[in-house]
Structure 1
């Protein structure tokens, strides 16, 4: 039950603007009340086609997306949205099968929360995703890792001199791997960094994000190497072989 929510003294102009795409009108009403008290502005869309149009409008900081929708399902909404927008997206759905979760991440979701959920957990996840997507930029200029070039200040990535469109999660993963200097970053450390919680034993969402990242980087994606049973590394030299430093644990 959605009861009290954390208060906020922010004006409506400074509140993050959220889009909820869900055909459950009562849920939309309750979530609007709760999230408004938590300091957010919420707009609801009740079908997939309108959801795509709203998501591409540039008016929202984050999208909450159901899977079972009229006209277009949530996976198709996200697929079409990702063609030209990297709007942070949390999928909210009663479909809890691992295949559905992986499909959501495969289409570009930043997080996936199964219904029913505690509203406090939803707010925590919204904050985490927004924090990652709006993180202050610290580095200036470009850093090179073989054919991969990364600008932290502009959150841009080039692969073989061609700009690559990455989601927030994909960029953060690549940045974390690049900061490790060719050493292994453990799976748990990567998952906690991008989701701000420990992964479950059967959670394969990290592997889906890494697979997407490799594919988007093209041939340079081979530089992201799997160290079985440990984690991943970004090779700083020849991507076809592990460097000796790859056996070291990365400590931030």
Structure 2
């Protein structure tokens, strides 16, 4: 059964071209041109990944992303014509897994989709649950658990935490962490990895508010420590 991609894009010509490229890569695609229809389409279609435009009629991409992320860890790729760095980071702060700036090549988007779905597929392969001094991370569910409390992570957030978690005490710089998340050698600012770290820390704080697992090393990077 082919994986399902939901495309939410109000530029009809662009959306249809993108859908054609995705279908040629053997994905099942549903296209929605209006933000007001995105949530119902998501619930009915149950996609494996969502390509979500930031600027949409009736309901914008930010609102849609927030709504879906409260209910699901389905991978979300934000697309936007806004190139300011704050707008690039906005989708990541909301819990999106990636972003693509317009104008973009449909082939580039398909490559991003394939890379993210490969990561998700790898993480869903049955593996032994990893635990470290009370903190447990589960690659099959993308949950982090401390004692009886648990929190869900996006694919990117989990991959970042897993990288640090598996080598406690080792310091990783931002480039090393970015390379472990994105496979396409893109050039992004240091603020992107900082945005991801901030999100992971915030989520871990909901299950262990008195503890700090990820430590900043000024001028160098980040490390995970036992607690």
TM-score, length basis structure 1: 0.82
- 1:193: which partner in 2? 180
Structure 1 residue 220, shift from structure 2 partner = 5.8
Shift of 1:56: 3.7
Equivalent position of 1:232 in the other structure: 222
Contact kept? 1:45, 1:51, Cα under 8 Å: yes
State the secondary structure of the residue aligned to 1:108.
coil
Q: Residue 204 of structure 1: SS of its match in structure 2?
A: helix
Written as runs of structure 1 = structure 2, the 5 A alignment for 1:108-123 is 108-123=95-110
**Which residue pairs with 2:93 in the alignment?**
106
How far is 1:70 from its partner?
A: 1.1
Aligned to 1:157: 144
Q: Shift in Å at residue 170 of structure 1? A: 1.0
CA distance in 2, matches of 1:54, 1:195: 28
Contact (CA 8 Å) 2:54, 2:78: kept in 1 or not?
yes
Q: How big is the shift at 1:123?
A: 1.4
Structure of greater Rg: 1
Deviations 1:48-69 (A, max 9, x none): 2321222344621100010110
Q: Give per-residue Cα distances to partners, 1:16-59, cap 9 Å, x unaligned.
A: 21000011111122112222112222111112232122234462
Q: Does 1:75 align with 2:65?
A: no
Shift, 1:101, TM fit: 1.0
User: Aligned pairs, how many?
Assistant: 223
* Structure 2: distance between partners of 1:102 and 1:90: 12
Contact kept? 1:24, 1:46, Cα under 8 Å: yes
Q: For 1:114 and 1:69, locate their aligned partners in 2 and report how far apart those are by CA, in whole Å.
A: 15
Equivalent-residue separation in structure 2 for 1:201 and 1:24 (angstroms): 26
Q: Please list every run of 5 or more consecutive structure 1 residues that lacks an aligned counterpart in the other structure.
A: 1-13, 238-252
1:181 has 2:168 as partner: yes
Unaligned runs of 5+ in 2: none
Match in the other structure for 1:89: 76
- Given that residues 142 and 154 in structure 2 are in contact (C-alpha distance below 8 angstroms), is that contact kept between their aligned partners in structure 1? no
* Residue 117 of structure 2 corresponds to residue 144 of structure 1: no
TM normalised by structure 2 equals: 0.90
Please give the root-mean-square deviation of Cα atoms over the aligned residues, in Å. Answer: 1.9
Structure 1 residue 155, shift from structure 2 partner: 3.0
Tell whether the 8 Å contact from 1:191 to 1:199 is kept in structure 2 after alignment. Answer: no
